[in-house]
Structure 1
Amino acid sequence: MDRVIQKKTWGTKRLLTISGITAAVLFGGWMIISTASSKSKLNVDTERITISEIKKGPFQEFIPVNGVVMPYTTIYLDAVEGGRVEEKYEEDGANLKKGDPIIKLANTDLELNLANQETAVYAAQTQMQISHNSAQQNTITKLNQMAEVDNAYKEAERVYILDKKLLDQKAIGLQEFKAAENAYNYQVRRKKLTTQILKQDTALIRQEDLQAREQYAHMKSTLELMRKKVADLTVRAPIDGQLTSMDAEVGQNKNKGEHLGQIDAQSGFKVRVDIEEHYLSRIFTGLMGDFSFAGKTYKLVIKKVFTSIEKTGRFQVDMQFVGEVPKGIRKGQTLQIRLALSDETTATLVPKGGFYQQTGGNWIFKVADDGKTAYKVDIQIGRQNPDYYEVLQGLKPGDKVVTSSYENYTDIQELVLKKP
């Protein structure tokens, strides 16, 4: 017989279990959502951040550098010859004319060498004069001998010609003619030999005289060099200018090549600038810079680049004033210069701020139109100068962004801006 099976209903215990599980799942989801929401948003007091506006305007890439004012021309004074400071004619800061004596050094060895060289030159001059006189006497003797030989030759020639005619006329015998012929031939050979000796002697005398003169000229040149060395013991101003950095006192010993001071020409100033080696490839002659002095702006241009890198990781350039030179500027004065690395262009600009350290210029917090929140946007930064970054992509003029530090915002997606 069939039996009716009754349908089971939900028990109270089972309902409570299902309800508990559902509540736990819902609570966990709410916690996850709540936690994610708390991590993606952050309340920020607007007085604790910097909000800047994106603008479009003139942009020029430049770097701030320091330059020191220097004389346009400086000539260093070094000891050409070593010695003891015997006399000091001028003090540091004196204005000098070219050739004015500054100090005098004493060098006994050098002065003694000069005296010995002078004696040697005078002795060589005397010996050369004696040799010249002797050569002249020898030449005169040789010329006298030549005159006698020539006379004997002519006489032998006359007798030979006459005897030949007499022989043809059978007025004399063959024996007498042969004697005249032999005498003539002898005189011919004698004249030829004497002439050759005279030529050789003359050439030898000329060669000896030339060598003596060259040797004498060399000794005189050496003497002049010695005299110049002794004259260099008196250090003189090479140009008109001001004596500076003088380092010499009476009684001091100065070695050859030792620095004594310098002369600064009064023809104008230049500016010596230190630059970080990072910029070496972008620095060249012709780059412009400007600085402010006494409320006015003045321009400078690079005239020389020293490419050697110092131990400090910097290199130097010399800049020249363009146009007017500031009145009252002084040697040794430090100028703060804006050195331009590019021409001026129009660009979209964001003011510099601490945000760049955390973002690397890849993103920024952009303020919403209602001004209540700021959210992340991707951007692309180009060139920069000490005041602005050039914005290539992601922002437009009129946008407002947070430019202060993002040190505590790296995991935040949105800032909720609260006014105090």
Structure 2
Amino acid sequence: MDTKIEKKKGIRPKHIAIVSAVLLFLYFIGYIAFSDSGSTLKVEKDKLTISTTVQDKFNDYISISGLVQPISTVYLDAYEGGRVLEILIEEGSMVKEGDVILKLENRELYGQILNSETNLAIKQNDLRQTQINFESKRIGGQKSLLESEFQLKKAKRKFEQYKALYTDELIAGEEFLQAEESYELAQKNHEVNKFQVKQDSLLSTGSIKDLVKDLARMKQTLGMAYERIENLNVKAPIDGQLGMLDAEIGKQIGRGQSIAQVNVLTDFKIESTVDEHYTDRIKKGLTGTFERGDISFGITLKKVYPEVREGKFKIDMVFSGEKPNNIRTGQNYYIKLQLGAPTEALLLPRGAFFQSTGGQWVYVVHSTGEFAVKRSVKIGKQNPKYYEILEGLQEGEQVITSDYDAFGESDKLLLK
């Protein structure tokens, strides 16, 4: 008969082993779930900037710094090169159109004009001498023509007399033939003289015309040379204020070199640059305001320059109403340029986090305030104070808006 063996009560070694394995497994799961050192970082809460999202009106504007400039500027270049002989008007002075600002000296140009004057005098003398020679030759030709005409009449009369006498057989045939030949010679001689006088007249007239044309061209050239001399007096092209005068007594100025500029002060404009991020939104006709002495002044965008340099493009704005009383060229104004009408939106205060994430994600603080987790967001427009939140956040949520560079790739921040 078998004997019944009673089981021993209490904790045995195998029970301890099982419990230990279970606890180790649970610890491992908890470690993975809550203590992943690769995605969690402890940070000091006091060193962070934490902002709260709000539902409010979003004012679609940008703040830019503008520089006051004259409404237009006329640049003054040297028509002729030369050495600065005298400065008559100093930089900053008001000028009238035609005022002589400075005088230049150009000895080479003086020599060219002297040669032109000499050549003109020679050409004038040649013309006078040609005219005298032509007149003398014309008179000589007329005398020769008169003489040949006289001889022709004599020869004709003698021929007709001898012809009648020969018909009546009162003279010999030889005498008649001599009279006839003399008459024919006189006719030919007269024709030759007429042809020569005509040709001489045409030739002389053509020569005189050519000389007159040459003389006119030389006078025109000399006149242009005199204008070049006059251009040594550098004059104001328009009424305004003389600026950027780059000249000193004795300095050599090259032809076409920029000397100065005349600023037209009948009105002013404001020049500024805008980040290329706003290229598609900046258009002619936009309005803005700036404060000066507790007074608000309006401006209108007049011109947008297409060229982008170093990530910025240039714009010109003009006053749409009153201007400050003490406005001066070179003053800086801080302008709010309105890009659109205010709209209702979820707003997040601006912060340095945007440079780290590009607005793709943020760290959202848990309601307990003990930690923050990474969350994807979508940011729309922005102004100098707020970002417009389109997706990813709710009103009243808290977001870390300070710089994220020290957080690396952490998905969770433990706030101490």
TM-score between the two structures when normalised by the length of structure 1: 0.74
> Measured at CA, do residues 403 and 193 of structure 1 come closer, stay the same or move farther in structure 2, by a change above 3 Å?
farther
Code of the residue aligned with 2:271 in structure 1: it is R
Code of the residue aligned with 1:297 in structure 2: it is F
Structure 2: any 5+ residue segments left out of the alignment?
A: none
Counterpart contact for 2:145–2:190, Cα < 8 Å? yes
Residue 128 (structure 1) shift = 1.7
Counterpart contact for 2:362–2:399, Cα < 8 Å? yes
> Measured at CA, do residues 306 and 238 of structure 1 come closer, stay the same or move farther in structure 2, by a change above 3 Å?
farther
> Measured at CA, do residues 49 and 333 of structure 1 come closer, stay the same or move farther in structure 2, by a change above 3 Å?
closer
Residue 189 (structure 1) shift = 5.1
Residue 330 (structure 1) shift = 0.5
Partner SS, residue 266 of structure 2: coil
Partner SS, residue 267 of structure 1: strand
CA distance in 2, matches of 1:151, 1:211: 36
Tell me the equivalent position of 1:335.
333
Residue 22 (structure 1) shift = 2.5
Counterpart contact for 2:84–2:253, Cα < 8 Å? no
Tell me the equivalent position of 1:392.
390
Counterpart contact for 1:61–1:383, Cα < 8 Å? no
Tell me the equivalent position of 2:290.
291
Please show how residues 2-13 of structure 1 align to structure 2 within 5 Å.
none
CA distance in 2, matches of 1:402, 1:308: 35
CA distance in 1, matches of 2:75, 2:115: 32
Tell me the equivalent position of 1:36.
33
Aligned CA RMSD, in angstroms, stands at 4.6
Partner SS, residue 326 of structure 2: coil
> Measured at CA, do residues 321 and 186 of structure 1 come closer, stay the same or move farther in structure 2, by a change above 3 Å?
farther
Code of the residue aligned with 2:204 in structure 1: it is I
Partner SS, residue 90 of structure 1: coil
Is 2:130 the counterpart of 1:138?
no
Is 2:110 the counterpart of 1:111?
yes
> Measured at CA, do residues 266 and 49 of structure 1 come closer, stay the same or move farther in structure 2, by a change above 3 Å?
closer
Counterpart contact for 1:364–1:377, Cα < 8 Å? yes
CA distance in 2, matches of 1:345, 1:197: 100
> Measured at CA, do residues 237 and 145 of structure 1 come closer, stay the same or move farther in structure 2, by a change above 3 Å?
same
> Measured at CA, do residues 221 and 152 of structure 1 come closer, stay the same or move farther in structure 2, by a change above 3 Å?
same
Please show how residues 337-356 of structure 1 align to structure 2 within 5 Å.
337-339=335-337, 342-344=339-341, 346=343, 348-351=345-348, 352-356=350-354
> Measured at CA, do residues 356 and 138 of structure 1 come closer, stay the same or move farther in structure 2, by a change above 3 Å?
same
Tell me the equivalent position of 1:94.
93
CA distance in 1, matches of 2:279, 2:154: 96
Tell me the equivalent position of 1:26.
23
Code of the residue aligned with 1:50 in structure 2: it is I
CA distance in 2, matches of 1:59, 1:381: 15
Code of the residue aligned with 2:239 in structure 1: it is D
Tell me the equivalent position of 1:243.
242
Deviations 1:94-124 (A, max 9, x none): 2222222333333344334433432332332
Counterpart contact for 1:59–1:347, Cα < 8 Å? no
Partner SS, residue 384 of structure 2: coil
CA distance in 2, matches of 1:158, 1:318: 101
Tell me the equivalent position of 1:72.
71
Partner SS, residue 268 of structure 1: strand
CA distance in 2, matches of 1:281, 1:148: 97
Tell me the equivalent position of 1:305.
305
Partner SS, residue 69 of structure 2: strand
Residue 332 (structure 1) shift = 1.3
CA distance in 1, matches of 2:184, 2:317: 91
Please show how residues 142-157 of structure 1 align to structure 2 within 5 Å.
142-149=141-148
